[in-house]
Amino acid sequence: MLEIEDISNDWDGLFSLKGVSLKIKEGEYFVILGPTGAGKTLLLEIIAGLYFPDSGQVRISGNDVTEEPPEKRNIGFLYQDYSLFPNYNARSNIEYGLRIRKVPKEERDETVERLASMLNIENLMERDVTTLSGGEQQKVAMARALAIRPTLLLLDEPFSALDESTKDKLIEDMRALHIKEGITTLHVTHSQEEAMILADRIAIMMDGRIVQVGMPKDIFFKPKTSKIAKFVKIENIWNVDVIEKTDEGILVGLDGHKILTPPNRSIEGGTARLIIRPEDIVIGSGASTSARNRFSGKVMSIEQRGFYNIVRIDCGFNVVAAVTRQSIEELEIGVGDEVRVFFKTTALHVVPR
């Protein structure tokens, strides 16, 4: 549906895109995840036609639109700052695109009513938009983008200026909306949570390049490089020596310990990096686990991080485990205690160094 081919752009040396290519399917919810300054917004603005790329092509439904101005592309765009027209009320904001298209009043009213009811903002229609809360403004902006029946919806960090509870509610609404309307959506964000909840597929963008594209589980559990692993908050990245490749997997050595990892054709021999999410590390007696990789270690620190506790363990190599508060209490773990650490071979992921 949307094809971006080898887009490059240098924007005053501040942001640049270096040969970005992507294919997004009809009806797909696609998230581009990347740190601030990766060039995500610039890419969206190029897709929308607000900037023209130095080279490369943008195709929508098979048509090359690279040179088309934004008003000819029929793309809905939502900015983080809502960008509502402060000189119009909520209704006039939503109607803006329809007025330009000279849609008759009855049809405009019908569209506004439908979108307002879908987004639960019927009572805000006559309000001055500067008096609306952040969440309300974002809903009006969403209705405004949807009113033109866009072929593609581009969302630029749409929830990052909202408080947590409003954000959660809007993410939920967004999901329901996508299921109902089925509009092909490209959403850029630095929030992994948003990506995990909303995305059909995710692309990781770093320094102006797409470095990995995949299903959410591939991105978060099988990052292609240790840099991506770090970005998706995998803290266990170990440098290992490849001992041998067997039918079962790859046997690697880590500070004198042997660990069995799943097979990976891109690993030839020599050294590699082993990656495992902190959530996949189990601490305990080991009685109830079939995990093959078992180690002993000493708890170095325990710190609260959100709803998890991050436990750092020295097993001769550093292991970071994410454990619930309840588990900590049940296991009666404290700093300095000796513990047993387990992880399944299937939870491990090995990447070239």
Binding residues for other proteins, per CB under 8 A? 12, 45, 48-50, 69-71, 73-77, 79, 81, 83-89, 92, 96-97, 100-101, 128, 141, 144-145, 148
Q: How far is the CB of 79 from other proteins (least distance, A)?
A: 5
Beta-carbon-side half-sphere exposure of residue 67 (alpha carbons within 13 Å): 0
Nearer of residues 12 and 164 to other proteins, judged by Cβ: 12
Tokens of 277: 């999410």
Nearer of residues 141 and 213 to other proteins, judged by Cβ: 141
Can you name the residues that pair with 299 across neighbouring β-strands? 313
AA identity, residue 137: Q
Nearer of residues 15 and 96 to other proteins, judged by Cβ: 96
Nearer of residues 144 and 273 to other proteins, judged by Cβ: 144
CA distance 160 to 62: 32
CA distance 227 to 247: 28
Q: How far is the CB of 50 from other proteins (least distance, A)?
A: 5
Q: How far is the CB of 126 from other proteins (least distance, A)?
A: 12
Q: How far is the CB of 153 from other proteins (least distance, A)?
A: 10
Nearer of residues 82 and 238 to other proteins, judged by Cβ: 82
Q: Which residue has the tokens 């990766």?
A: 38
Nearer of residues 143 and 219 to other proteins, judged by Cβ: 143
Q: How far is the CB of 85 from other proteins (least distance, A)?
A: 6
User: Measured in whole angstroms, how far is the alpha carbon of residue 316 from the centre of its chain?
Assistant: 34
**Cα dihedral 262, 265, 266, 272 sign:** positive
Nearer of residues 129 and 250 to other proteins, judged by Cβ: 129
Q: How far is the CB of 101 from other proteins (least distance, A)?
A: 6
Can you name the residues that pair with 282 across neighbouring β-strands? 342
Nearer of residues 89 and 185 to other proteins, judged by Cβ: 89
Instruction: Answer yes or no: are the C-beta atoms of 274 and 303 closer than 8 Å.
Output: no
Q: How far is the CB of 103 from other proteins (least distance, A)?
A: 10
Q: Which residue has the tokens 């009043």?
A: 105
Where residue 286 falls (left for φ over 0; alpha for ψ -120 to 50; beta otherwise) is left
DSSP symbols for 206-243: ETTEEEEEE-HHHHHHS-SSHHHHHHTT--EEEEEEEE
Q: How far is the CB of 12 from other proteins (least distance, A)?
A: 8
Give ∠ CA 194-196-202 in degrees, rounded to 5.
100
Kind plus residue range of the DSSP H or E element containing 170: helix 164-181
